[in-house]
């Protein structure tokens, strides 16, 4: 019998999506003005307890805007992890600046110890300005990525950022809903700890607007300027006076209508993802050579993506395992290739990258949709068990 296909991550649109989108269409507010946009901004900023929010076309546009808000230009360099989706890096180049690639720690996020070592050994800090000794360029900002919804070590990273007076942009595109439960940032959400945070509502993210994103901050000046820059930098909307070069980056009312309906379900999605995560954890414990990566202690993660390490003792390589799961109609995916090894970034500085390659070699993602059923999880683990024991031979 042909089993149904189990995708890696697909959206679930079973709430008020149709109702609100219909309303947007019936009222003919479909573009970048309309009541749902402001409502969505207020609901997201209320949920994560940020002072302000600006809804944009997608996470990449949000990250580009965030860098512009910090004044990143061609005279600058920006710290970014190499283990990330490339959209955390490309906007640095859109600004004409260069990325400096950092290693990850075991949370898959930026390693604060390497960051400190890099600043101490390779940079000079004078009059509040940090310079790269080898290029003489200013290091202007740090981009942190909360990989798979797991918070990066924000306590460690923020301490260093404060020491060197650097603003921090949190790429929280995968981490809407994750927050610290204790420590310096207790009850603070991913995206609201640094200077600016960015969420994505792409189709594979924890909530979706088809395509969409949001910038959040506790600095209202930055939020006001973000709204201005993302609407063509129009100072006067009657006479069309522009004081800067802006962008057409605003979210539409239709997207925002979807977003509000999705946000209503976010905590339910997280609860399902959490239950499936712990079911995987329990059942995978019996499979030799596979280790489900943990989320950071002292946090409530959003459990967005599940990552397993494939050890040699499993009996198949990571590559082979993805192929074999595909034969069983289960979609799995390797973690992203490291950005500092890719053609556009090969010439950029990469500082002692040692941990990221280990995860690159071993990690795959398993199906994790917010509507994944318990028996799907059991079927996936049972398949892994058979593959591990060598009962299931390679039929490809």
Ligand X SMILES: *Cc1c(COP(=O)(O)O)cnc(C)c1O
Give the interface with ligand X as residue ranges (CB under 6 A): 58-60, 84-85, 87-88, 145, 171, 173-174, 200, 202, 213
Which residue, 97 or 387, has its beta carbon nearer to ligand X? Answer: 97
For the bound state, the minimum distance from the C-beta of residue 212 to ligand X, rounded and expressed in Å, comes to 7
Which residue has the CB atom at the shortest distance from ligand X? 59
For the bound state, the minimum distance from the C-beta of residue 368 to ligand X, rounded and expressed in Å, comes to 13
For the bound state, the minimum distance from the C-beta of residue 199 to ligand X, rounded and expressed in Å, comes to 8
Which residue, 84 or 107, has its beta carbon nearer to ligand X? Answer: 84
Phi and psi at residue 394, to the nearest 5°: -65, 115
Structure tokens at 22: 């219909």
For the bound state, the minimum distance from the C-beta of residue 85 to ligand X, rounded and expressed in Å, comes to 4
- CA angle (302, 199, 318) in 5-degree steps: 60
CA-CA-CA-CA torsion sign (97, 337, 66, 157):
negative
What CA–CA distance (Å, rounded) separates 145 from 191?
A: 10
Which residue, 290 or 360, has its beta carbon nearer to ligand X? Answer: 360
Exposure class string for 77-93: b at 16+ Cβ within 10 A, else e: bbbbbbbbbebbbbbbb
Structure tokens at 122: 């390779």
Closest listed residue to residue 265, CA positions, set 332, 209, 309: 209
Which residue, 144 or 372, has its beta carbon nearer to ligand X? Answer: 144
For the bound state, the minimum distance from the C-beta of residue 79 to ligand X, rounded and expressed in Å, comes to 15
For the bound state, the minimum distance from the C-beta of residue 88 to ligand X, rounded and expressed in Å, comes to 4
Which residue, 304 or 351, has its beta carbon nearer to ligand X? Answer: 304
What CA–CA distance (Å, rounded) separates 336 from 346?
A: 16
For the bound state, the minimum distance from the C-beta of residue 200 to ligand X, rounded and expressed in Å, comes to 3
What CA–CA distance (Å, rounded) separates 175 from 107?
A: 13
Which residue, 84 or 138, has its beta carbon nearer to ligand X? Answer: 84
Contact between 317 and 310 (Cβ < 8 Å): yes
Phi and psi at residue 79, to the nearest 5°: -75, 135
Contact between 62 and 84 (Cβ < 8 Å): no
Which residue, 58 or 388, has its beta carbon nearer to ligand X? Answer: 58
| Cα first-last separation, the chain | 17
């Amino acid at each position: 019998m042909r089993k149904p296909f189990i995708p890696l991550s697909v959206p679930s649109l079973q709430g008020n999506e149709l109702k609100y989108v219909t309303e947007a269409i019936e009222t003919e507010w479909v573009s970048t003005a309309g009541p749902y946009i402001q409502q969505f901004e207020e609901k997201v900023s209320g949920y994560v307890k940020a002072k302000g929010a600006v809804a944009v076309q997608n996470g990449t546009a949000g990250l580009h805007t965030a860098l512009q808000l910090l004044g990143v230009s061609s005279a600058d360099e920006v710290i970014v992890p190499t283990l990330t989706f490339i959209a955390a890096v490309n906007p640095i180049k859109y600004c004409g600046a260069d990325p400096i690639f950092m290693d990850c720690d075991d949370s898959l996020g930026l390693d604060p110890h390497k960051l400190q070592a890099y600043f101490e050994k390779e940079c000079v800090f004078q009059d509040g300005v940090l310079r790269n000794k080898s290029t003489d360029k200013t290091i202007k900002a740090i981009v942190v990525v909360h990989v798979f919804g797991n918070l990066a070590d924000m306590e460690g990273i923020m301490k260093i950022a404060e020491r060197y007076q650097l603003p921090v942009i949190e790429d929280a595109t995968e981490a809407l809903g994750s927050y610290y439960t204790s420590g310096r940032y207790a009850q603070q959400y991913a995206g609201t700890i640094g200077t600016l945070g960015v969420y994505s509502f792409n189709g594979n993210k924890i909530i979706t607007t088809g395509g969409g994103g949001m910038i959040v901050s506790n600095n209202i000046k930055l939020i006001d300027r973000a709204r201005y820059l993302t609407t063509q930098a129009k100072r006067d909307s009657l006479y069309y006076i522009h004081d800067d070069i802006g962008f057409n980056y605003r979210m539409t009312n239709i997207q925002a209508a979807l977003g509000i309906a999705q946000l209503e379900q976010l905590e339910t999605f997280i609860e399902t993802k959490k239950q499936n995560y712990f079911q995987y954890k329990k059942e995978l414990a019996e499979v030799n050579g596979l280790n489900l990566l943990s989320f950071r202690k002292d946090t409530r993660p959003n459990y967005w993506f599940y990552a397993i390490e494939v050890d040699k003792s499993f009996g198949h390589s990571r590559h082979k395992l993805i192929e074999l799961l595909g034969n069983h109609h289960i979609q799995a995916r390797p973690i992203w290739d490291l950005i500092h090894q890719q053609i556009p970034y090969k010439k950029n500085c990469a500082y002692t990258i040692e941990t990221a390659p280990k995860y690159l070699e071993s990690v795959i993602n398993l199906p994790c949709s917010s509507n994944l059923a318990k028996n799907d999880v059991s079927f996936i683990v049972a398949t892994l068990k058979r593959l591990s024991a060598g009962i299931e031979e390679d039929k490809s």
